[in-house]
Amino acid sequence: SRRGFDRQLTSQTNGMGNHHGARNRGRSTLGGWLCYHFRLLLNILRRAWYGYVYPVSFLLAGFWRRGTVLGGLYSLTALGLQLRMAGRPRLGEPSLWRRTHSIIFVACLLLLIGGITVIVLAGQGSLDDDTQVTRIIGLGGVGMPGGPFADDTKYRNPLRLLPEVVACAVGLIGVVLGSREDLRRQTEREGDGEVVAALSNGGPLAHGFWVTMVGLLLTTASAVHCNAFGAVYTMAAYYLMFRISRPSDRCSGGSAGTLLVLRRCVWCTAALHVVSVCVFSAPGIADAMPAQALPVLGVASQSGVAFVQMSFVFAILEVVVGTWPNTEALHRDRGLSASSDYCSEIPEESNDLEAGADGVLATPMSSRHSSLSVHEAGGSHLASSGSSPQAGGGGGPRRRRAQSGNSRGHAAAQRQQTRLRRSRSTLPGDQNYPSFIPVSVRENCEKLLEGAGRQFRGLRGSSLLPSLSALMWATVWPSLATLPLLVFALTVLHVSVSRFPSALMHIIMMYQLLFGMVLYCFNVYCTAYDTPLSNIPGEYTWLERGGLQSYGRAGNVSDVLAHMWYAMTQACAVVLFALATDARRTRESSMSDKRWPSGIVSLARSVVAFMRPLTVLVIISWALSAEGVSLFGFGYTMWILLIVVSGSCRPDPLAGWDVLRGRAVVWKALVMYSSAVMLGLFCWQIFGRRSEELYGLERTSWSLWQTIWPHLLISVLAALQTRALQAKIQQPRALIGSTSPLGWFLWASGMFMQMSLMFVIVMVPPKSLDSFIFLLLFICVVAVEQVCGQSVWRVRLLFATGLTAAILLPIRYAILIPRAQSWLQTIIPADRHPLIWETLALEEDVRVKVKLFVWVCIVVLSGALRRIFLNPACLASARPEVARKRPPLLARMLKEAARWSMSLMMFVAYFLMLRHDAASLVQISLLLAMLVCGRYWEFAGALTSVCATGLLVAQYWWDLKFVDMEDQTKKYWGLKWEWSSVALEVALLFLGILQRSVQRAALLLTDVKNLDATGKRWRYWRGIIRVELVAYGAHLAAALMMLLALFRSSAWSLLWVGVVVAFRISGDSSRRLSAARSNRWLWTMALVQAGCLLSRFLASVWFPSDMMRKPTAEDISASAVCDWLVDRERERHDCGKAWELWLDLAEHRWHLTYTFIVLWATCVLRHLCLAEMQNQANAAKAVASAAALAGGATSPQADVAIGQPGLAADGQ
């Protein structure tokens, strides 16, 4: 018999080796690989069907017939199937139980036939005398009270037979899907190799993933309905989670014994649970039991709740019965204990969950399947021959020969497996990848998995998991019992979890487990006695303050979902803490020699740096919210000022221009402050009666997260900055580098951002004195940027702006507090002193909060810009170098834009000044004077800016209502504060700044001496065009005037035509003019055009209504000019309209636009003439000086230059 066993074992192992080679050859192609995994998927689905869906379907049918004999039979059938799985190593897979499936199908078919018969008899009224009997039996649901078929008294609804039909159909599918005996070997080969390999390496307790899944499954089963059995499930789940936190117990000698005891306990409890629900659901037994005893024994009032809990119980039975007995069998066959098996064969990485069970998943498929076949093939022989460790060495010669034969058989199997491993190394393909996948893809996948595992291990060893676990306890169960856990979570933000002793972590773990167990037992009591719903967190009793709180709370949509939510929250919190406790022992060894790549380091620096503005944004957003305006928010506001001051004092090499870096002690103060606020809110939620608006102690009726999440987020962000500063993480290059994009952006556009923020403060109502102060600062900043942006006054104004905002911020915030509003009402009543309340904007308003938010931005931005401009040496030296590297075409375009910027600025400014009031008339008069003058155009931007700023100040001051003035009067003089007029004035300001910026940028460009062919051609043609415009500028202006006069006949048209006629009579229109002669004619034409334009503007604006009324067409028709039309009223009216048009008293804006375009073109031509005259004078002086030095001799080149001055001044 020993030789036969050896031959059988050898043939099986050889078959596995041949199958492994064929399978790898089949998997070398994509089609073979897909077919193989499709077969594996079908095999897994079949196992899932027989292992879970098959028995649960009978359980479902039993719960449809709950409280009857038929329901008990179905439920006991399901339980029997699960019990039969305990003998799977001896009885084989459930798919091979053809006899059992056939018997079950025949029985279900008979019950279906019986149900049909009973329904037919009941429909004919033959069972009226046996109603009680049919109700107890339950066939067809006849006689069962209530339910969806209570109204079906004629028994005609076919859905009554749904449980019997489902059971019969499931039995038929079980027979059809059952495997034949000749498929046994293929089923064993293509089984779930990962699960078998995991079992062969110590069972579920040796792997954290299995422990976590089983624990969560037990918790879910207990969460559906609170009863005594659920308490046992919870205790078992907590015990498994406790083992996760103690990795040393996995290699202890009692691991196998604990595994068996826990398996038997859970299985017996689940079986008793099923039997209890089936037995105590019977009507006679349920009526005899006390009302409080039935919920404790698992009999829920709703069948759906009981079925859901039984479904999870059957899942537990499947996991416990379907996997753990195999572990016992494997250890018994191999003659090893679970502890020695685990400690000797499992790789070290598989001790941790974060390693991903590398020792299991990296095991090749061939080795797993061959191990399975060997052990299952020899398991029965070894069990019958007494080879277990308990058998000892006695028993006679026959037993000793059998034992020695078995040992030799195991040795042969081990040798065969070794040969298979050696041959597998020569096979194509990798252990985990098919051969058709490229090697580079495999390496990338392995690196990705390795990096993910390393990051997961780092996450487990960090402070995130324990703090999250403690916060889950404290927020879901706010009470004195969870207050220590909240203190621990906040302490972890200050102190790294690696500094906590292991004993303290285990004490906290035990505390969570004990509290969770007590909480569940209390809810079992609440379920049994049907206690009233709890009003937590709105109202607390002293028992609830102590920690004994019910799952049933007012406002729950579903009691079952609420129970599952609260119980699963407890389980998740315990699992997170257990994983963190387990990972502490590997974190130090794995992170001590860590060298991060440069890309990750740069990314970490950037994330830490740019999280600081996010922290400030979160702080000010909460502080300005409806709940945050309190003393707590005032403290946060003062911290923002403190961090800006601290960051402004940091050295430039460490902080750059980041004023939020500050010192670590300042960020740590924020962590402590926010933690104290969270503790205060937590305690106030438990002991407080109402919300305190002054201190910010808010109470919520929904969840504690509603009040503490902003402070928790602030604490986490501040703790991140504290850890980064303590670790001396440097600033990213973007905040320090001289030529970084961020540095260039702030250097070029920072002041525009500052001015935009200041303008927002000015424009956002309500208007007040502090907004007027910012308006003055805004005007000063605009003036400095326009005159000399590089002066020291820029830094001084930034400091003044930031200081003003920093002083006003806490004062304004304190005024917003409701208690401060009440105090101000008592001191300065609003009804008695309305001017003070309006001028100072003391009333609470959402728009004031917008200003406070902008003030915070100004404080931060002013500090950053000030640090940039105080040390501008690097940027100032880099700007010309970068400017010289610009392409020649871009340089020429920038030069031309600078030349035309003054005239174009005045052209655009005219259209921005068209408001038809007295102020706009003054602005346009000054603009036209500068245009006609033709000189000093470089000060045009300053002129428009001064006019705009003066008008803005006057409008804002008069709008503060210190001086009473009617709106109509304000509108006439242009002093009414309106969005349209203010927007136009600000546009004029920025237009002037833009013009000066273009000129400054052009000054940085040096003239290129070595021009290319394109540059030379452009320079030549530009000189030719300039000379021709100077010579024929008067001709062009006269043509434009004559063309415009033809389309608009008025009194001014006569003067225009007269000027053109004089130009024609003088004879200058038929010859080429010099620059001086053309200048005289252009000056005359410009004066006439400007006078026409001003007169039309004056007619449009006119005088104030109380001084002189503007004449209308009716007034003119009644005057002497129309007296000759005495008898014809219609002609008199037409006469008045004609005179009104001819005198330009009517508004024609299109004609004003055309007139200004002609005037602008005339003035530009005159400006060219003046420049040409200046060039000729300079050339003449140069020639005279040269002649004086040379003794009066002149060169031919000088004569040419004097004769053609335009070409001599070609470069201007």
CB 148 within 8 A of CB 162: no
The residue that leads in pLDDT, 322 or 891, is: 891
Mean pLDDT of 763-779: 86
Mean pLDDT of 656-685: 92
Q: How confident is the model at residue 584 (pLDDT cuts 50, 70, 90)?
A: low
With both helix axes pointing from N to C terminus, report the angle between 979-1003 and 769-787 in degrees, rounded to the nearest 10: 30
Enter the DSSP assignment of 692.
B
Give yes or no for residue 1042 having a pLDDT over 70.
yes
pLDDT number for residue 987: 86
Give yes or no for residue 781 having a pLDDT over 80.
yes
Give yes or no for residue 1068 having a pLDDT over 70.
yes
Mean pLDDT of 181-197: 45
Give yes or no for residue 351 having a pLDDT over 70.
no
Helix (H) or strand (E) holding 675: helix 664-687
The residue that leads in pLDDT, 1091 or 1000, is: 1091
pLDDT number for residue 735: 83
Q: How confident is the model at residue 122 (pLDDT cuts 50, 70, 90)?
A: confident
Task: Please tell me the distance from the alpha carbon of residue 931 to that of residue 434, in angstroms, as a whole number.
Answer: 83
Give yes or no for residue 588 having a pLDDT over 70.
no
**Angle at the Cα of 600 from the Cα atoms of 598 and 606, rounded to 5 degrees:** 105
Task: Please tell me the distance from the alpha carbon of residue 294 to that of residue 242, in angstroms, as a whole number.
Answer: 31
Task: Please tell me the distance from the alpha carbon of residue 62 to that of residue 480, in angstroms, as a whole number.
Answer: 45
Of the given ranges (30-34, 969-973, 1087-1091), which has the lowest mean pLDDT? Answer: 30-34
Of the given ranges (84-88, 95-99, 620-624, 985-989), which has the lowest mean pLDDT? Answer: 84-88
**Alpha-carbon distances of 1155 from 791, 816, 906, 1040, 1097, rounded to whole Å:** 41, 55, 15, 10, 12
Q: Give the percent of the chain with pLDDT over 90.
A: 13
CB 62 within 8 A of CB 74: yes
Residue 237, C-beta contacts closer than 8 angstroms, at least 6 positions apart: 214, 215, 216, 218, 219, 222, 571
Q: How confident is the model at residue 421 (pLDDT cuts 50, 70, 90)?
A: very low
pLDDT tens string 859-888:
999 999 988 888 765 555 555 545 555 566
Of the given ranges (512-516, 823-827, 888-892), which has the lowest mean pLDDT? Answer: 888-892
Helix (H) or strand (E) holding 96: none
The residue that leads in pLDDT, 1170 or 125, is: 1170
Enter the DSSP assignment of 688.
-
Beta bridge partners of 553: 534
- Assess whether the previous peptide bond of 537 is cis (omega < 30° from 0): yes
Enter the DSSP assignment of 126.
T
pLDDT number for residue 714: 94
Give yes or no for residue 939 having a pLDDT over 90.
no
Task: Please tell me the distance from the alpha carbon of residue 960 to that of residue 771, in angstroms, as a whole number.
Answer: 11
Residue 30 burial (CB count, 10 A): 11
Q: How confident is the model at residue 322 (pLDDT cuts 50, 70, 90)?
A: low
Mean pLDDT of 241-256: 60
pLDDT number for residue 859: 94
Helix (H) or strand (E) holding 382: helix 365-384
Mean pLDDT of 1008-1034: 73
Of the given ranges (196-200, 333-337, 437-441, 683-687), which has the lowest mean pLDDT? Answer: 333-337
Q: Give the percent of the chain with pLDDT over 70.
A: 69
The count of residues in the chain is: 1212
The residue that leads in pLDDT, 68 or 484, is: 484
* Token pair for 952: 């803005």
* Token pair for 587: 């974190």
Task: Please tell me the distance from the alpha carbon of residue 336 to that of residue 329, in angstroms, as a whole number.
Answer: 11
pLDDT number for residue 14: 45
Give yes or no for residue 355 having a pLDDT over 60.
no
The residue that leads in pLDDT, 348 or 643, is: 643
The residue that leads in pLDDT, 1101 or 333, is: 1101
pLDDT number for residue 139: 77
Give yes or no for residue 16 having a pLDDT over 80.
no
- Radius of gyration over every alpha carbon of the chain, rounded to an integer in angstroms: 47
**Alpha-carbon distances of 555 from 551, 702, 707, 708, 863, rounded to whole Å:** 12, 9, 19, 21, 50
Give yes or no for residue 373 having a pLDDT over 50.
no
Give yes or no for residue 1174 having a pLDDT over 80.
yes
Task: Please tell me the distance from the alpha carbon of residue 1175 to that of residue 1201, in angstroms, as a whole number.
Answer: 11
**Angle at the Cα of 629 from the Cα atoms of 623 and 634, rounded to 5 degrees:** 65
User: Which of 27, 344, 349, 415 shows the shortest CA–CA distance to 202?
Assistant: 344
Of the given ranges (345-349, 457-461, 1132-1136), which has the lowest mean pLDDT? Answer: 345-349
CB 28 within 8 A of CB 130: no
Give yes or no for residue 219 having a pLDDT over 80.
yes
Mean pLDDT of 660-674: 92
**Alpha-carbon distances of 1203 from 698, 1176, 1196, 1199, 1209, rounded to whole Å:** 89, 10, 11, 6, 12
Task: Please tell me the distance from the alpha carbon of residue 1055 to that of residue 1061, in angstroms, as a whole number.
Answer: 10
User: Which of 746, 854, 753, 843 shows the shortest CA–CA distance to 804?
Assistant: 854
Phi, psi dihedrals of residue 987, rounded to the nearest 5°? -60, -40
Amino acid code (one letter) for 376: E
Mean pLDDT of 1109-1135: 66
User: Which of 179, 166, 69, 50 shows the shortest CA–CA distance to 108?
Assistant: 166
Give yes or no for residue 965 having a pLDDT over 50.
yes
CB 317 within 8 A of CB 270: yes
pLDDT number for residue 616: 94
pLDDT number for residue 1123: 64
Give yes or no for residue 999 having a pLDDT over 90.
no
User: Which of 934, 1177, 1169 shows the shortest CA–CA distance to 1074?
Assistant: 1169
pLDDT number for residue 64: 78
* Token pair for 132: 């009680």
